[in-house]
Structure 1
Amino acid sequence: MSIERISTEGLSGMRELAEAGLPPLPEALRSRLAECRTLPSLPASAARIIAIARSSDPRLADYARTIEQDPALTMRLLGMANSTFYSRGGNPVTTSLDALSRIGLDATLAVVLSFGLPRASSDQSLDHEYLCQRAILAASAVQELAQHLCPHDAPQLFTSALLQDIGILAFEALDGEAYTSAIPDLRQHQKLSEVEQARYGCDHALVGAWLAASWGVPTTIASGIIDSHGALEDGDARKLCLRLSCRIAECWLATDSASAFSSLLRQLTSVASLDIVMLMNVMQELQHRLPSLSRLFEITCPPAVDSTHLLAEAKELLFEQNLRMTIRLAEQQRELEALHASHVVLDEQHRTDHLTQLVNRPWLEKRLAQYFDCAKVAQQPLSVMFIDLDHFKRINDRFGHRFGDEVLIHFAAALNNMVRESDIAGRYGGEEFLVIMPNTDRRQASILADRIREYLAKQPLAQADGKPLHVTASIGIADLEDGEFENAAALVDAADHAMYGIKHGGRDGVGHYEEPGPGE
């Protein structure tokens, strides 16, 4: 049956097409394409379908009536709607309207545009059957991949992959044998693009996008034709699906498909968003669909691939991928542990007094505020002890600050050994020290104070001029029960006040805070 076709008369309306947002064609090539009268064209019915799609108020009934005027288009649409991919076990559809409702407008457009694919002929220098097989393979592969990575984009990606190589047909129409004799074998797709870039200033992907735009296809589909040729990389699921589908089609039709797929699978190990198991499922589903798709699009069915070899290769790569992941996880764990250790060190430095190695005043005040609030809420005892080493200025003046530092270091070490694990001892400033004692009343706090005084009486903190140097301390204790304290700072002031009472009374003693009477 002959099919009425509408000529595009070159890439007409170039000014209007420029508004599509596609990268520009080289000027010399653009002019030649605009004058070419033999560029690939669509059947008249397909052109009318696209016109309906571009109208302001397209309706399914309008599509159905137009499709039914073309028996070949109607049969292909029904075949697509009743395929395994779309029917999902449902009842077969028998009308164009039902088929449209089942597969949607994007898939319908793909069926329409499939009539722009080449047909095999004995007098053609290009292998049109290979191009058609490659288009169907890529379109089917991208549809399966998109179901996993970007389901909503699957219909438009199918159409972009289907039309990815129509630019080759445009170059053939433009230059005939001069083009076909200059390019390498079609199976060497990367080299083909390089030759086209050198000869025309762009490759067939860009020309194909402009040709599709001249047919009236949506810009997203035309842009997808350009995106189908590029590196495999993460970051954009649409581009990844398109580019991988092209690689799958190339490998499928390669002379040594097993080696080609083996090489491709190894390239994909660096693409984090791709899972080898998912990819094998896609390949198996593709192999299952190919015979029916070939009949639908009236092409010779591509040969089956060696699934046994592919599965063995995939298992080996899956093992390697898991091994790399295990190593990467172990490295990340080591990095996390090192980072945690670094944070521990920084935290320790942040809260530690560099001289005595006890906690510093900011940390003491922060923790005391927490303990104070908890004790208030839980109605539990809390005591603080304020310690001031007596006559410390005389020690510094007589023996020097370095000697005084030694005294502070020795006292801090002794204090740290005497407090309980639940207590927090820190340097408050100069020769002043503070001990926070949770769940401790004044009687229990006095026990620690007496131990400190006994230790200082028996143990010298340094040797001065060959003689032991004993130091005494004035100690003040404040218990949460000793008064109505508004905050933690007030509790520290109370302990400090009790300590100064000992200082004024002659030093070397322990004092407890007493709430002033009404007249005091």
Structure 2
Amino acid sequence: MTPEIKKKLQSCPSLPTPTPIAVQIITLANEPEIDLHRFIGILNCDPALASKILRTANSSLYSYPKKIGNLHQAVMVLGLNATISLALSFSLMKSLQTNRASGLDYALYWKRALIAGTACRVLGATCGFTEIEELYLASLLQDLGMLALDQVFLDLYNHPELDQTCHASIISQEDQCLRVNHAAVGSWLLTQWNFPDRLRLAVTGSDDPSRISPQDERAKFAYCVSLSGKIAEIFLRKSHDDYLQTIKEKAYAWLNLTPDELMEVLETTQGLLPETEKIFQTDLQTWTEPQAILEQARESLLLRSLQSLKEVQELQSNTAAMEAQFQNLEETHRHDPLTGTLTRAYLDQYLETSFEQALAKEECLTLVFGDLDKFKSVNDTYGHQAGDSVLQSTARLLLSQVRTTDMVGRYGGEEFVLILPKTSSTAAEIVCERILYAFRNTTHAIAKNQHIKVTISLGVATHTPDHPYSNITDLL
């Protein structure tokens, strides 16, 4: 927040301020040890406030089996901290509702605050929080900065195209006009009022809690508050479009709520709205019937779930297709398209890897270099297509004479390399004799009813721990 805006806020005579009762409660809440009798005495100074505390304690929000007749019993049932938060909620609501409206739609503002507070109670219970009333108070106050900005900048919310049911539009308007949003202003106000850090942090992050580190122990509290405001917007928007999907994603990302759990939160919130209306003696009428909103939400979440399932299935299918395509490309890169043996590029890699493994494990490695005899004359006499046929049948013959652990690669033209791991020179000689014998007794089909014989020359080199080579190039 800029110094200029802060100065204007400080000099504004109609800035929201807590009542004297609220100031006393805030002071009491910040003391290390809270005097229960003193707190009850403060509440008794405001009969309307005391009445609301009793009405809330006896409401369906708590479902206490016996009627609570006095403030002492209420504090015992609700808990001291919860009662303090409730008292602050009621007292601040009373003082803040006296502000003179300018461009801000105050009726809509208070509807959102009360629906958000109700939703935050439900979220807190769903997520296992014990400080339900503190969450409620933070949720009620999350848009406090709007009340302050409306008093200082009278035309800020008066823009004819501003949709005040859409909080994103409000934040965009604030950023464009002031380069600050109401969350920062609200946090500043709570600092002036000496509110606890956790409540101030929740208000600061109410528009975008992602700025709060997930490692911060207060982050989940702030996520609840922010999500409650967005849930309130579901009940107040004229059109939902993709908004429900956004809420579903944030509910899962922030609080790990599934679509079914989110739907349950919406239904419980809707069921508690009449009780909230009674306690605050107000009308929370929404644009459409709450039940219709829930039906729309249920349908939207179901459709989105089905769409997400379809997208996942399509993604899995596309992934499988891409993996198959990648494997095909990899096979193309590895294997010579004519002969099916290793390509020269991959052969070089495989030679290096095989040599390094032989060195590391102190094992034998034999290479056999094969060169077809007088292959040029085959091409010259019968044509290149016949030569290709001979190369293909040569590759098949070589592959048939070696083990599955051995590899055959095309070194270039009519030259082939056989890689024989863990093979001594004696064993390699046997393999070579087998290959030579096979070539002498094989004819190669080069055309229909036309066969020729081709021989091959072989060279052998063996790396052993006793007679090692310094590198693969020397061995080759």
Instruction: Specify the TM-score bucket, using the shorter chain as the normaliser.
Output: 0.5 to 0.7
User: Are 2:388 and 1:415 aligned?
Assistant: no
Of 10, 18, 35, 1:62 maps to: 35
User: What is aligned with 2:310?
Assistant: 327
| Residues 373 and 449 (structure 1), Cα distance of their counterparts in 2 relative to 1, 3 Å cut | farther
User: What is aligned with 2:93?
Assistant: 117
User: What is aligned with 1:42?
Assistant: 18
User: What is aligned with 1:159?
Assistant: 137
Q: Distance in 2 between matches of 1:447 and 1:201?
A: 81
1:321 offset after TM fit, Å? 0.9
Of 281, 288, 299, 1:316 maps to: 299
User: What is aligned with 1:6?
Assistant: none
Q: Distance in 1 between matches of 2:459 and 2:177?
A: 94
CA RMSD of superposed structures (Å): 6.0
Check whether the contact 1:117–1:166 (CA below 8 A) recurs between aligned residues: no
Could you say what secondary structure the match of 1:264 adopts? Answer: coil
User: What is aligned with 2:113?
Assistant: 135
Q: Tell me which structure has the larger Cα radius of gyration.
A: 1
Of 340, 363, 371, 2:350 maps to: 363
Deviations 1:225-265 (A, max 9, x none): 454457999x997777545533543554x5xx7xx3xx226
Q: Distance in 1 between matches of 2:148 and 2:139?
A: 17
1:284 offset after TM fit, Å? 1.4
Percentage of pairs with the same residue: 20
After superposition, where does 1:347-358 map in structure 2 within 5 Å? Answer: 347-348=330-331, 351-352=334-335, 356-358=339-341
Check whether the contact 1:185–1:192 (CA below 8 A) recurs between aligned residues: no
1:423 offset after TM fit, Å? 4.9
Q: Distance in 2 between matches of 1:385 and 1:410?
A: 24
Of 193, 199, 210, 1:221 maps to: 199
After superposition, where does 1:70-469 map in structure 2 within 5 Å? Answer: 70-71=43-44, 72=46, 99=75, 105=81, 108-109=84-85, 111-118=87-94, 131-145=109-123, 157-167=135-145, 169-170=147-148, 188-189=164-165, 206-222=184-200, 224-225=202-203, 227-229=205-207, 242=225, 244-250=227-233, 252=235, 260=238, 263-264=239-240, 266-270=242-246, 272-274=249-251, 276-296=259-279, 298-300=280-282, 302-303=284-285, 306-348=289-331, 351-352=334-335, 356-359=339-342, 360=347, 362-363=349-350, 366=353, 387-389=368-370, 409-410=391-392, 412-416=394-398, 418-419=400-401, 422-427=404-409, 431=415, 433-434=417-418, 436=420, 449-450=433-434, 453-459=437-443
| Residues 52 and 411 (structure 1), Cα distance of their counterparts in 2 relative to 1, 3 Å cut | same
User: What TM-score does the superposition give when structure 2 sets the normalisation length?
Assistant: 0.65
User: What is aligned with 2:255?
Assistant: none
**Which is further off, 243-252 or 321-330?**
243-252
**Which is further off, 364-373 or 282-291?**
364-373
Deviations 1:194-229 (A, max 9, x none): 887898886665544433332112355345445445
1:140 offset after TM fit, Å? 1.6
Unmatched runs of 5 consecutive residues or more in structure 1: 1-22, 377-382, 479-484, 498-520
Q: Distance in 2 between matches of 1:113 and 1:35?
A: 26
Unmatched runs of 5 consecutive residues or more in structure 2: 215-219, 252-257
1:117 offset after TM fit, Å? 1.0
Check whether the contact 1:81–1:103 (CA below 8 A) recurs between aligned residues: no
| Residues 104 and 328 (structure 1), Cα distance of their counterparts in 2 relative to 1, 3 Å cut | farther
Could you say what secondary structure the match of 1:42 adopts? Answer: coil
Q: Distance in 1 between matches of 2:282 and 2:372?
A: 104
Amino acid of the structure 2 residue aligned with 1:116: L
Q: Distance in 2 between matches of 1:388 and 1:202?
A: 76
Could you say what secondary structure the match of 2:418 adopts? Answer: strand
**Which is further off, 224-233 or 414-423?**
224-233
Check whether the contact 2:145–2:189 (CA below 8 A) recurs between aligned residues: yes
| Residues 113 and 488 (structure 1), Cα distance of their counterparts in 2 relative to 1, 3 Å cut | farther
| Residues 452 and 108 (structure 1), Cα distance of their counterparts in 2 relative to 1, 3 Å cut | farther
| Residues 339 and 125 (structure 1), Cα distance of their counterparts in 2 relative to 1, 3 Å cut | closer
| Residues 437 and 249 (structure 1), Cα distance of their counterparts in 2 relative to 1, 3 Å cut | closer
Check whether the contact 2:354–2:421 (CA below 8 A) recurs between aligned residues: no
Could you say what secondary structure the match of 1:358 adopts? Answer: coil
User: What is aligned with 1:512?
Assistant: none
Could you say what secondary structure the match of 1:269 adopts? Answer: helix
Of 452, 455, 459, 1:471 maps to: 455
Deviations 1:484-510 (A, max 9, x none): x769989xx9xx99xxxxxxxxxxxxx
1:397 offset after TM fit, Å? 12
Deviations 1:75-99 (A, max 9, x none): 6556666766667989989776994
**Which is further off, 179-188 or 309-318?**
179-188
Could you say what secondary structure the match of 1:216 adopts? Answer: coil
User: What TM-score does the superposition give when structure 1 sets the normalisation length?
Assistant: 0.60
Check whether the contact 2:54–2:69 (CA below 8 A) recurs between aligned residues: yes
Q: Distance in 2 between matches of 1:407 and 1:123?
A: 94
Q: Distance in 1 between matches of 2:70 and 2:296?
A: 43
| Residues 108 and 269 (structure 1), Cα distance of their counterparts in 2 relative to 1, 3 Å cut | same
Q: Distance in 2 between matches of 1:251 and 1:199?
A: 26
| Residues 343 and 416 (structure 1), Cα distance of their counterparts in 2 relative to 1, 3 Å cut | farther
Check whether the contact 2:88–2:137 (CA below 8 A) recurs between aligned residues: no
Could you say what secondary structure the match of 1:426 adopts? Answer: strand
| Residues 63 and 408 (structure 1), Cα distance of their counterparts in 2 relative to 1, 3 Å cut | farther
Check whether the contact 1:386–1:477 (CA below 8 A) recurs between aligned residues: yes
Could you say what secondary structure the match of 2:240 adopts? Answer: helix
Could you say what secondary structure the match of 1:327 adopts? Answer: helix
Check whether the contact 1:132–1:299 (CA below 8 A) recurs between aligned residues: no
Check whether the contact 1:369–1:488 (CA below 8 A) recurs between aligned residues: no
1:333 offset after TM fit, Å? 1.8
Check whether the contact 1:78–1:99 (CA below 8 A) recurs between aligned residues: no
